[in-house]
Amino acid sequence: MTYVEVKVSCTLASVADKQESFKTLPAFSPLISVEALPTIALVALLAAFALTFFLTTDIVKLSKSSSFALISMGVIVFSVVFRSVGVDRSLRGDPTHAFSVVRPGVFEAIGVISFAFVCHHNTMFIYQSIDVPTLDRFNQVTHASTSMSLICCLLLSITGYLVFTDKTEGNILNNFAADDWVINIARFCFGANMSTTIPLENYVCREVIEDAFYKGRPFSQTRHVAVTSGIVFGAMLISLMTCDLGVVLEIAGGLSATALAFIVSAENRAEDKL
């Protein structure tokens, strides 16, 4: 949850800062400055608007928001590929660094990449949401979604890196000019994409808390609202204190993502063969 909240706040702050409409919070600032109030207001408004999605107890109801996120992702990929061809030379990186892969920070990058590909925590809920949950249907869903993700990732990473090389930012959209209207649409879609992703991650986090601390107890609407609000606004408060996604992604990728993607899944696979 912290990851996606940080991405929303950083995206809004980045676009607004480039337009010189307001300033963002300094990294890990313990105080909230007056200049940061517009950012806080935007993020708080976004969280309040999405609270209806956060409180849902049926993952199927999030299918429409997920469809919107998929469309937004398509717009982002198209915008990056389309605008990378004619990007200004001053924004391009050094072409001699195009194939320089092993550089300082490569291990941190592995953690970030691992985090990006972790979807294991959603799989059981998605399986249960299928009308007739069978392994064949679930196999089709996983293969189709993974293939689409692979295509999008390859298009974004290869196109973006070959153009910007050593100047490549963590968010590829930040490599383009602030007045590029096509990329500005993609930036809007990026924020919208993250806002529709948060409810799904919140759903999983809440279910884990319910299973860990309240297993076997009857459903309580008060507890449901309290846990959901605590997750959402707690993560938002932490995310507003920093716009450095690197630390967040490295820690989450190096610990939780590595365990979920490689250790736990391999262990389960080994147990199935026994």
DSSP state of 179: T
Q: Which H or E element spans position 9?
A: helix 2-18
Which one is predicted more confidently, 103 or 150? 150
Name the residue ranges covered by the structural domains of the chain.
1-11+41-262
- How high is the mean pLDDT of the chain? 76
217: pLDDT strictly greater than 80? yes
For residue 264, name the pLDDT band (cuts at 50, 70, 90): confident
Residue 21 has pLDDT above 60, yes or no: no
Q: How sure is the predictor about 223, in pLDDT bands with cuts at 50, 70 and 90?
A: very high
**Cα separation, 4 vs 176, whole angstroms:** 22
Three-class SS state of 141: helix
Contacts of 73 (CB under 8 A, 6+ apart): 152, 189, 193
pLDDT at 272: 62
Q: What is the pTM of this model?
A: 0.69
What confidence tier does 44 reach under pLDDT thresholds 50, 70, 90? confident
Euclidean distance between CA atoms 3 and 170, whole angstroms: 13
Q: Does 43 have pLDDT greater than 60?
A: yes
Check pLDDT > 90 for residue 31. Answer: no
Token digits of residue 28: 């890990």
**pLDDT > 90 in the chain, percent:** 7
